[in-house]
Structure 1
């Protein structure tokens, strides 16, 4: 499947990722300033601990709303920042929520205990029994603690993704409980009509973004495009390509380098979403994904029947030509990471060098397609085979294949150890960071 795309817009000095990142930081900073303003307008309690506790609780609520925006999978943000980076920010914002809510609970409890002469535990019990919304806040904080615990590296590595994801869904319950607590007892929330309208607006935008990005948009797109499997083509003993057709695919805003979360609606797999990149640039008629067997889910795709309905969420990812800064490029693929690289080769204009790193020639899936496409595009193709050690993509070897690499964009996709090594090599060769494009698919397959 080889389709040479029309040339995209030329590289620009305006970096989409920097614009989106700056915009997010500006939104968070502006809202933090507004929260601080409404807090001071509401007046201060006599007890300094209660003052600190209320302020920490407000910032915790703001972080919660920002957290929802990060995981809403809004197309504009995702194409410019990428799901991997948004997920990383989501993780660190989650720890921010944990610490601000912990500070809120500790300061409020000790502040009221200081005024009432009760012990901390007795004070929590008393507040939960006598003050509307406090019990809901205690439950919400307990949920946040559990989610925070399973987000740690030790727990995350030992939990199946489905289990981890299911536990995280309780975060939405915590958000609702925290919001009702804020409405019931938040002095800043009720201090003025402007403050009340502001907080309703913040929560409305955050929850609305999640509803649109995670539910409305995927459902609408799938109802519109009616995706089905049109062909299943084995590429090797453990690699298979699936072709997907549907209606109006020319209106699906997918680009080479992006991925979808695919659900094949069979009796035994409809509940499981598999994240796979497109292995060919979208041509408006069909989509293709190429999958290497890595478990029961991916192995079962070889046996999917033609005509099977597909529910696809996406497209996702910032690993696209949108971010190129130079007229010439280097595409570096490792193993099955060749799938988005092969798609990008179709779309990129200007002279391109493709480097495909595999252990043996037999592992070089799609190599024939790459060779054919490279000939059509006038690109240089290097197949690099051999064991992991010695490093065949070390600075000397990479500079030999691409002497002018520091003046090119570099698109990189492959196994995490290989990507880490190549990124180190690119730094040693003086390739500017803004010219290096990669996406870590730890959450995306």
Structure 2
């Protein structure tokens, strides 16, 4: 098995560099917007002037929203889809408030301008096609913001929420038509108009390339198919996928794909699974626990069945290493990317594998073999938290330091259930492990 050469990073971290590029680009765009607005942003009265100000910034936030979920490889490998998705979520709430403010000011502004009641003004604007399209876009954005609130989101199936979320693409289309019909602050200047629509074109191209063009091209080029299906236990299965020219697929240990098996559960069913083995240029492997109908049915996949893969995604890789030595911490099925990273590891490594019982230790034999091959230490931490006397608490600061005395001199990679991950991160802070040496992968993308 070939092991990819890796070394500790020096200088500015890839994550910080990507954040600087993304933030600087967005701020530079806002500066241009502010300058152009100052020169040609006056509305028919002061209220409508402020409404135009919020309209331009709502459109700019919408551009940022699309970039954050465009799944551009350069950004994703450095920042990670989980973090980009969190930013997308909070930017979405900012967009909703900005759109609501713009719409409210438009109605109030025209009510003042024509000395009409607010309700009559609203109905009058709804009779204008450009305004009506803007209202529809705003309604979709606000409805999606409400559906994304934690209270509502936790009571909704992921598939339902995802289907509703696709409605935002309709909102973007309606908003673009609304801007074109209404005219923008930039309508008075050919150069400004060219700038505005050039930025929109680049944003849409980036989104379409990352979300549609790249996945279609990769699948047409590699022709993924199921090579083998191997049960690991009563409720865990590994699926091997092969294809053409996989050595050209720039995937790394620790990353994940969004997997579709159309003959298994329909085209619309897609699940993110981490690679459970380091890519070797011949096969890709996922290992899944039966927690739903999709993953439970994977063991019935026939060899040769087609697979559609989106990815690779994720920043949970050795690209972000700052030290030669690593500590790999996994909980439950979070062992899959950790196992792949151990396979790719070349420096001193310690693996902590948290499970409720030894029967739950998936891929344990492989881990033991890899640990022997790599000269790594493997500790399986089995038991119920709080059980026994003294209480079993393997991730308390003192216990972590006892297991890994030089923990502050290692890069720490953590992947597991949210409660475990949070507990580990708290202990790492107490132990003084520098933030730049801590890398955490979250299970959920939404």
TM-score range, shorter chain: over 0.9
What is the Cα deviation at residue 395 of structure 1? 1.0
Give the structure 2 partner of residue 427 of structure 1.
Answer: 429
Q: Distance in 1 between matches of 2:346 and 2:11?
A: 17
Q: Which moved more, 1:405-414 or 1:194-203?
A: 194-203
Is 1:86 aligned to 2:84, yes or no? yes
8 Å Cα contact 1:182/1:189 also seen in 2: no
In the superposition, relative to structure 1, how do residues 24 and 7 fare at CA in structure 2: closer, same or farther (>3 Å)? same
Question: Could you say what secondary structure the match of 1:133 adopts?
Answer: helix
Question: Could you say what secondary structure the match of 1:30 adopts?
Answer: helix
Give the structure 1 partner of residue 389 of structure 2.
Answer: none
8 Å Cα contact 1:257/1:320 also seen in 2: yes
Q: Distance in 2 between matches of 1:46 and 1:311?
A: 53
Unaligned runs of 5+ in 2: 387-391
Residue number among 179, 183, 187 corresponding to 1:182 in the alignment: 179
- Give structure 1 regions of 4+ aligned residues with deviation exceeding 4 angstroms: none
Give the structure 1 partner of residue 418 of structure 2.
Answer: 416
In the superposition, relative to structure 1, how do residues 95 and 250 fare at CA in structure 2: closer, same or farther (>3 Å)? same
What is the Cα-based RMSD across aligned positions, in Å?
Answer: 1.3
CA deviation string 1:289-311 (max 9, x = no partner):
11111111110001111111100
Q: Distance in 2 between matches of 1:348 and 1:142?
A: 50
8 Å Cα contact 1:132/1:185 also seen in 2: no
Unaligned runs of 5+ in 1: none
8 Å Cα contact 1:260/1:313 also seen in 2: yes
8 Å Cα contact 1:183/1:190 also seen in 2: no
Residue number among 6, 12, 15 corresponding to 1:14 in the alignment: 12
What is the Cα deviation at residue 350 of structure 1? 1.2
8 Å Cα contact 1:346/1:373 also seen in 2: yes
What is the Cα deviation at residue 9 of structure 1? 4.2
In the superposition, relative to structure 1, how do residues 269 and 184 fare at CA in structure 2: closer, same or farther (>3 Å)? closer
Q: TM-score, normalised by structure 2?
A: 0.97
8 Å Cα contact 2:41/2:52 also seen in 1: no
Give the structure 2 partner of residue 400 of structure 1.
Answer: 402
Q: How many residues are paired up?
A: 441
In the superposition, relative to structure 1, how do residues 398 and 43 fare at CA in structure 2: closer, same or farther (>3 Å)? closer
Residue number among 56, 64, 70 corresponding to 1:58 in the alignment: 56
Is 1:272 aligned to 2:269, yes or no? yes
8 Å Cα contact 2:69/2:84 also seen in 1: yes
Q: Distance in 2 between matches of 1:39 and 1:410?
A: 47
Give the structure 2 partner of residue 387 of structure 1.
Answer: 384
CA deviation string 1:123-149 (max 9, x = no partner):
1222232x4511110111111111111
In the superposition, relative to structure 1, how do residues 311 and 433 fare at CA in structure 2: closer, same or farther (>3 Å)? same
What is the Cα deviation at residue 47 of structure 1? 2.1
What is the Cα deviation at residue 197 of structure 1? 0.7
Give the structure 2 partner of residue 71 of structure 1.
Answer: 69
Question: Could you say what secondary structure the match of 1:350 adopts?
Answer: coil
Give the structure 2 partner of residue 303 of structure 1.
Answer: 300
Question: Could you say what secondary structure the match of 2:32 adopts?
Answer: helix
Question: Could you say what secondary structure the match of 2:265 adopts?
Answer: coil
Q: Distance in 2 between matches of 1:52 and 1:350?
A: 58
Residue number among 27, 32, 38 corresponding to 2:25 in the alignment: 27
